[in-house]
Amino acid sequence: MSTPEPAEAAPSAESLLRATSPHLLVAAARHILAERVGASDVTVLLADYGLSVLQPVSHLPHTDEPVSAHDGPAGRAFASQSPVVEITSVSSPTQAVHLPMSVRGDRLGVLSLRLPRAATDTTTVLQLADFATALAHEVIAAGRDTDLYLQARRTRRLTLAAEMQWQLLPGRGCARPEYVVGAHLEPAYIIGGDNFDWSTDADHFTLTVTDGMGQGIEASLLTSLAVGALRNARRAGIPLADQAYLADQALLAQYGGKKYVSSLLLKFDLDTGTVHAVDAGSPQAYRQRDNTIERIELEAQLPLGMFEETIYEEQTFQIEPGDRLMVVSTGVHSALGGDGGTFAERALRETFSAARSEPPHEAARAIIAGLMEHFGSRELAADASVLCLDWNGRPPRAVESTAF
């Protein structure tokens, strides 16, 4: 007798997603989940640019009604970054499950579906959470080849300046064992000059916040050049102060000192918590340790692109496990309220304190919400960006593998 051929293993869900055309990821997810766990009503909801609602991905240019990014079962899954199983009638044969979609700390949205009641055990829900993460990675990759997911995030049209600025951003969050970063930028649909950027490697995390002078397209072009110059210098392995110098020279060569960019450059040593800093303008950093909030006092140096042969110098400060570092742009700390008082003078520290128990993503959003309350409108007069970093530090003797 001949030996029977072994049954061929079914392809993994991740491999099926990778093999799917970019614009068909949602349809593929529906098919995979229906076949493997009996799921129905599978919906991908992506966070809009203002992080206020979750937009269903459906046939464009029309989409289904959005849901809150902060309230309701889907909003709770997004805010907490944990699966949420809706409590429904005992007589219902299915239950709704909401699973966060994120990529290395960057929150994209939520995968919502209905499961047979018997399939909502902890093991299945955790497996589905892994599937949602895999789907989020594919959505990011698909963004190189289709506009579908970017369009689905928009509650209204972006200005051209905002379009340019969003394309520069690395994301709105980044996480690894040593730290968690959350960032927020407003007004999301008309931003011009504010930007943040970061990069991580085995032993360091580099973070920059920039604010190009002016508004609209001119501010966006100015900031684009500054961010490009800083990235070019950083990727060449050049020290932090020299990164600032080269960006300064690039701006000066283009604009002749008529336009400049305020910037704060920070480089974190993951082993020691030492932070190297170059303060080239107006973004401000605050350290929250236990119940104490203090502004990091750095020597103010000239903004990038202002004068010939400006020499920049690095300074250092220290952060410890449990610290929270918040970086805010001029549009936050110098925003004027209806009574003429600045946000920094009256409310900034109180808002920091009130958001202390929130994770970094929600804390950054809460600071912007506090700014809007102080300003008296959701339509801010200037760009406002906030970055919130929770520092965990590197455990003793922890070694990160660099093997490929």
The per-residue pLDDT for range 62-110, each reduced to its tens digit, is: 567 899 999 999 999 999 999 999 987 777 889 999 999 999 999 999 9
* Distance in angstroms (rounded) separating the CA atoms of residues 136 and 53: 17
Residue 39 has pLDDT above 80, yes or no: yes
> What one-character DSSP code corresponds to residue 336?
B
169, two tokens: 């951003």
> What one-character DSSP code corresponds to residue 253?
H
111-142 confidence digits (pLDDT tens): 999 999 888 899 999 999 999 999 999 999 99
More confident residue, 334 or 365: 365
54, two tokens: 């979750």
Per the DSSP assignment, residues forming a β-bridge with 266 are 207, 277
Per the DSSP assignment, residues forming a β-bridge with 279 are 264
> What is the pLDDT, as a whole number, of residue 374?
73
Question: Which amino acid makes up residue 224?
Answer: S
What is the percentage of the chain residues whose pLDDT exceeds 70?
91
Q: Is 16 left (phi over 0), alpha (psi -120 to 50) or beta?
A: alpha
| 348 neighbors 332 (Cβ within 8 angstroms) | yes
Task: Output the CA–CA distances (angstroms, integers) from residue 208 to 74, 143, 181, 306, 387, in the order listed.
Answer: 32, 24, 13, 18, 10
Residue with tokens 């082993």: 271
- Neighbour-count burial for 308-334, b at 16+ CB within 10 Å, e otherwise: eebebebbebebeeebbbbbbbbbbbb
Q: State whether residue 391 is helix, strand or coil.
A: strand
80, two tokens: 């907490």
Residue 371 has pLDDT above 90, yes or no: no
Pick the CATH number of 13-151 from 3.60.110.10, 2.40.160.10, 3.30.450.40, 2.40.37.10: 3.30.450.40
Residue 1 has pLDDT above 50, yes or no: no
Q: Has this prediction a pTM greater than 0.85?
A: yes
> What is the pLDDT, as a whole number, of residue 89?
74
* Distance in angstroms (rounded) separating the CA atoms of residues 314 and 244: 10
CA dihedral 209, 380, 77, 54 (to 10 degrees): -110
Report phi then psi at 223, rounded to 5.
Answer: -65, -40
Per-residue confidence band for 149, with pLDDT thresholds at 50, 70 and 90: very high
301-333 confidence digits (pLDDT tens): 999 999 988 999 999 999 999 999 999 998 888
Residue 59 has pLDDT above 90, yes or no: no
- In the chain, where are the structural domains located? 13-151, 160-391
* Distance in angstroms (rounded) separating the CA atoms of residues 37 and 250: 56
171-223 confidence digits (pLDDT tens): 999 999 999 999 999 888 888 889 999 999 999 999 999 999 988 999 999 99
Highest mean pLDDT among 376-380, 381-385, 398-402: 381-385
User: What is the rounded average pLDDT of the residues 210-238?
Assistant: 95
Average pLDDT of every residue of the chain: 90
Residue 348 has pLDDT above 70, yes or no: yes
Domain 160-391 sits in which CATH superfamily? PPM-type phosphatase domain (3.60.40.10)
| 46 neighbors 109 (Cβ within 8 angstroms) | yes
Per-residue confidence band for 42, with pLDDT thresholds at 50, 70 and 90: very high
Residue 404 has pLDDT above 50, yes or no: no
- Neighbour-count burial for 145-162, b at 16+ CB within 10 Å, e otherwise: eeebbeebbbeeebbebb
| 36 neighbors 28 (Cβ within 8 angstroms) | no
Residue 340 has pLDDT above 70, yes or no: no
Residue 251 has pLDDT above 80, yes or no: yes
Highest mean pLDDT among 12-16, 87-91, 371-375: 12-16
Residue with tokens 């190009």: 212
> What is the pLDDT, as a whole number, of residue 372?
83
Residue 397 has pLDDT above 70, yes or no: no
Instruction: Flag the least confident range among 137-151, 181-195, 335-349.
Output: 335-349
Residue 61 has pLDDT above 70, yes or no: no
126, two tokens: 């955790």
Question: Which amino acid makes up residue 281?
Answer: G
